[in-house]
Structure formats: structure tokens, C-alpha cells
Amino acid sequence: MSTIDKQRVNVRGAADQVLEHLADVRERVRTGQLRSLAGVGALLLIWVVFRVISPAFLTPDNLVALTLQSASLGFLALGVVLVMMIGQIDLSVGAVSGLSSAIVAVLFMQAEQPLWLAVVAAVASGAAIGLVYGALSAYLDLPSFVLTLAGLLVVLGVQLWVLGETGSVNLPFDTWLVHFSQQGFLSTTTSLLVAAGVVALNAWTLVHERRRRERADLPADSLVWIALKVLALAALLALSIFYLGRDRGIGYPVALLLLVVTLTDIALRRTRWGRAVRAVGGNVDSARRAGLQVRRVTVQVFVVSSTFAAIGGVLAVGRLAAANQGSGGAEASLTAIAAVLIGGVSLFGGRGSAWSAFVGVLVVQSIASGLTLMNAPLSVRYMIIGGVLVLAVALDTRLKRGALQPR
């Protein structure tokens, strides 16, 4: 075979690989596996629109503030992702967050306990609430909608009781929690090192997944496709770090959220526990027949979800340096659920990713930030987020029908 013929064969092989990947992407879109891309598209569209309306929107200063505001809500949304992955819902994450804030403030300021002990107690209270939800849902088959709605009211009542007659407790600005939540930022060098670790971890998991699928004789991504994914992630992280670094950089709460989202994503995609969560959400009867401990998985997911909500409350009391009767509540719960749906988690369970929480929260907070720059009233923000949520649910329903239809 001549050199020209060999080149033609190589070009034809590369073209076949590209077409194969395009067909795979089209199939994943059809079955809803890449629904989170719609959330990313919505985020980019919102950024372009608000950039045209207000030049201040995409400034480093505003984006740093936007990411800090997203950290607390991001933890609530991450918990909601897990619950919805098993086909359940948790309406009380906002109330758990508010109770966590109240516990930290009251234990530290009024009971004069060490701040670290107050934080541990707050997070433990969230885990205990999740344990109750999980046990009642798994062993008594109580509907999670009604169960967590009742829990929302109970936890709100406990929050008001903890705060007492004053209804508001302030934290000193010189505490480590307030410093961590408001004033702590990674240096550019540290951010780049962390990003390099994230990219390396992502590359390792992709290669590991490829080998696992090859051993099982399943279709697997080519090394070229994996390299493109890793390069795209590296470029995105580097661009974000350098742009935000023109102001204060990446805040500690944001870095913590990204770390937890990354670990949760790996747990969902690469561990037996994560596969069990998806299986339970996909079809609970099939999961039982496959020998999975459905009740145990349900309890674990509710515990983790409420624990994440409590961590969000700890970050919120640090960022605001105060806890009051308005901390958390039903609005925070609904906003977190809306963010998760907008980010790409399916209402029908079994589909979604941890990154859906991050993307959805950025969409919701971007809308809030842009409308604030326009001096728009709160009512407009609610109406716009509600409209985006309707579009997200309509898309989810459409993709669900498409996935059930034969090719």
C-alpha cells in the first residue's frame, strides 16, 4: 500500500470515529443523558443577555460575589439532587439549613460554646433529621412529599424555638467562620494547583471507566475523545481562575462546594453505592429483584441530603454573620429544587449528576444578580425563575417520552 493510500485510510478512520461519536452524542441527547447541557446553554444565554443589558454583570467583581452567594444554596441543591436521583423529593432542605444557622449562632453566642462545637452540632442535627426522614420513608413507606412537607413545618417551628424571643442572633466579624465564608480566598497559584488535581482526577476516572467498559465488552470512549474532554475542562478551569483572579479570586466556600460536588459526582458514577442510587431511582422493583438494599440506600441518601443542607446553613450564617427567623425556610427549599430541575436532574428519578446542582444554582443566582443590577423588583425575579422552571420540566418530560420510544 502506498503512502497516499495509508493516509487516506487514516483520514477515513478518523472520520468514522467522529461520526461514531456524533451518533453517540445524538443518542444520549435523545434519551436525556445529556440534559444538563440544556442548563449550561441556558446559563450562557442568560450571561449574554445580562451582559448586553448591564456591562457590570460579567465584571470579575460581580462574578466573585455571584459565586459566593451560590455556595450555600449549592449545598442545598446538591442534597436535593441525591434525593431526586432515587425518585423522592425533600421540601425541607431550606428549613434544615435555617435550623442549622440558628444552632450555630445560639450555641456560640448565647450558650458560649466553642464555635467548632456549634458547627458540629448543627451538622449533626441535619444528619439526624435525614435519618428520621429516611427511616420513615423506607420502613413505613410514607410519601416523601408529605413527609418532608410536614418536616418543613416542624423544623421551622424548632428554628423559631431555638432563636427565642429575640428572633435574631449576630456573629462577630472576627470569628473564623465569618472569615472563611466572607473573606477567605484562594491565591491564583493555589487555585491552579487545585485545578490541576481536579483535571488529573477527572482524567483518571475517564480512563478507568473506559477500561471497565472494555472488559465488559461495552462501547467505550476513545482516547482521543477522552483527551478532548480533559483539555476542555482544563481550559475552562484556567480561564475561570484567571478571570476571577482579576478581583478577589475563588472564595473558600466556593472551593469547598466544588470539592464536594466533584467527590459526589465520582461517588455517583464510579462506586457501587452510586450505581445503587441510580438503580433505585430508575426502577425500584428491578433494584429489589437485583438484590439491592433499597431501604438502606433510601436512608443513606436522606441522611446525606440533610447533612448537606445543614452545611449550607453553616456557610449561610457565616456569610451573613447572623441567623434570624428568615434564615432558610420554604423559599430556600423551592429555589434549590428549581435550581436542580433547571440544572438537568430528572423529575422521574435515576437521571442527573452532581454538577446539575452547580449549574442550576449558577442559573438561578445569575438571574437574581442580573435583575438586581437592573433594579427589578423581587416579583419579576420569581416570575422569570418560574418561567425557566416550566421550560426545564417541559424539556424533561419531552426527553422522557423520547427515551421510551423505540428508535
How many CB atoms lie under 10 A from the CB of residue 150? 14
What integer pLDDT is reported at residue 45 of this predicted model?
87
pLDDT tens digit sequence for 70-109? 999 999 999 999 999 998 999 999 999 999 999 999 999 9
What integer pLDDT is reported at residue 201 of this predicted model?
83
Q: What residue ranges of the chain have pLDDT lower than 50?
A: none
What integer pLDDT is reported at residue 4 of this predicted model?
64
**Which residues on adjacent β-strands are paired with residue 323?**
169
Separation of alpha carbons 39 and 25, rounded Å = 16
Which of 170, 113, 159 has its CA nearest to residue 323? Answer: 170
What integer pLDDT is reported at residue 132 of this predicted model?
96
Q: What is the DSSP string of 70-108?
A: HHHHHHHHHHHHHHHHTT---TTHHHHHHHHHHHHHHHH
What integer pLDDT is reported at residue 256 of this predicted model?
93
Domain locations along the chain: 36-400
What integer pLDDT is reported at residue 14 of this predicted model?
58
CA 228 to chain centre: 24
